[in-house]
C-alpha cells in the first residue's frame, strides 16, 4: 500500500521539555495505525504537529506527496486530514446538525449546494446514530453523544486521513464496541486512520500497525501482538524492573 503520510525526524520541545524527539512515522493508505504510550508520551503533540496546530522545531510532514510546511490547520484540513480532540469541542450553543454543517461548508474545498450539504449532514448523523438529536443543542448531548458528534464533524470535511485522539475514553463497554464498529466502517469507506488510544482492547482490536511513544521517543513499532509484548513496551508501561532481591519494605 502507498504511504499516505510521512512524518520525518520530528522534534518539539516545550520550555526545555522534549515532548517529541526525532520521531519518524509512515502511515500506509487504507490501514488503521494505532499510537499508544503512557500519559505525557507526546501522542497528542504529534497529532497537533500533523494537523498544523503546533509547528515542530525540526522535521517535516508530507501528506499525499506534498510537504505541509507551515500550512495552517484549515488548509491541512482541506487537503484531507481531519481529527477529533481528546477533549471534545463542539459549538455548545449550536444545534447538532449545525455543528456538522460547519464541517461540510468550511472543512473542504469547492462549492456545495445547501440541499446537498443538508443531505450529507443527515447521512452523517444517521451514521453516528444522532439523527434524532439533529435539532438539539450540542450542550444537551451526553458524553457518548458528544463523541459521536465529534466523529461526524470530522467526517464532514471528507478526510482521506482521520486522526482519532482517545475517542472511546469515558465510554462503557457496549458504547466502546459501537464506536469500534464505526471506526471499522469508516476505514471500509476508504479513510486511513491514525488512532491514539489507552484502551488496549480497542487498539489491539483495530490496529493493523502499532506505534509506541515513550518520553517523546518512538520505542517500538510493528504488528500489534508483537509490539504490545515487547520488553521495551512492557517496561515503559510498568516502569523499570528492579533486580531480583531488590524489593524491600518501605519505611
Binding interface with ligand ATP (CB under 6 A): 14, 17, 19, 37, 39-45, 86
The answer to whether 208 and 27 are in contact (CB under 8 A) is: no
Q: Does 44 bind Mg ion (CB under 5 A)?
A: yes
Beta carbon nearer to ligand ATP, 33 or 45: 45
CA dist 53 and 89 (Å) reads 15
**Collapsing DSSP states into helix, strand and coil, what is residue 156?**
coil
Q: Which does 40 bind (CB under 5 to 8 A by kind): Mg ion, ligand ATP, none?
A: ligand ATP
Q: Does 84 bind Mg ion (CB under 5 A)?
A: no
CA atoms within 13 A of residue 79's CA, in its CB half-sphere: 20
Beta carbon nearer to ligand ATP, 29 or 57: 57
Say how many C-beta atoms besides its own lie within 10 A of residue 6's C-beta: 15
Angle between helices 143-155 and 173-188 (to 10 degrees): 10
**Assigned C-alpha cell, 57:** 522545531
Beta carbon nearer to ligand ATP, 37 or 90: 37
Q: Which does 93 bind (CB under 5 to 8 A by kind): ligand ATP, Mg ion, none?
A: none
Beta carbon nearer to ligand ATP, 135 or 200: 200
**Assigned C-alpha cell, 243:** 533486580
Q: Does 51 bind Mg ion (CB under 5 A)?
A: no
Interface residue list for Mg ion (CB under 5 A): 43-44, 86
Amino acid at each position: 500500500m502507498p504511504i499516505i503520510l510521512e512524518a520525518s525526524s520530528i522534534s518539539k520541545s516545550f520550555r526545555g521539555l522534549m515532548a517529541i524527539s526525532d520521531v519518524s512515522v509512515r502511515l500506509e493508505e487504507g490501514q488503521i495505525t494505532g499510537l499508544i504510550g503512557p500519559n505525557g508520551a507526546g501522542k497528542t503533540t504529534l497529532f497537533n504537529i500533523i494537523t498544523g496546530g503546533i509547528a515542530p522545531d525540526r522535521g517535516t510532514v508530507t501528506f499525499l506527496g506534498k510537504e505541509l510546511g507551515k500550512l495552517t490547520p484549515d488548509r491541512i484540513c482541506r487537503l484531507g486530514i481531519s481529527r477529533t480532540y481528546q477533549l471534545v469541542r463542539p459549538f455548545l450553543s449550536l444545534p447538532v446538525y449545525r455543528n456538522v454543517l460547519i464541517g461540510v461548508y468550511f472543512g473542504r474545498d469547492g462549492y456545495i449546494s445547501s440541499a446537498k450539504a443538508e443531505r450529507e449532514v443527515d447521512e452523517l448523523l444517521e451514521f453516528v446514530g444522532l439523527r434524532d438529536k439533529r435539532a438539539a443543542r450540542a450542550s444537551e448531548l451526553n458524553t457518548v453523544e458528544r463523541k459521536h458528534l465529534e466523529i461526524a464533524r470530522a467526517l464532514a470535511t471528507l478526510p482521506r486521513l482521520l486522526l482519532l485522539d482517545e475517542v472511546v475514553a469515558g465510554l462503557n463497554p457496549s458504547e466502546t464496541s459501537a464506536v469500534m464498529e464505526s471506526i471499522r466502517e469508516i476505514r471500509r469507506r476508504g479513510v486511513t486512520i491514525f488512532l491514539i488510544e489507552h484502551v488496549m482492547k480497542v487498539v489491539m482490536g483495530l490496529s493493523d500497525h502499532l506505534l509506541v511513544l515513550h518520553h517523546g521517543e518512538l520505542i517500538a513499532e510493528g504488528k500489534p501482538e508483537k509490539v504490545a509484548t515487547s520488553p521495551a513496551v512492557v517496561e515503559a508501561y510498568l516502569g523499570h524492573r528492579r533486580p531480583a532481591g531488590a524489593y524491600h519494605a518501605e519505611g
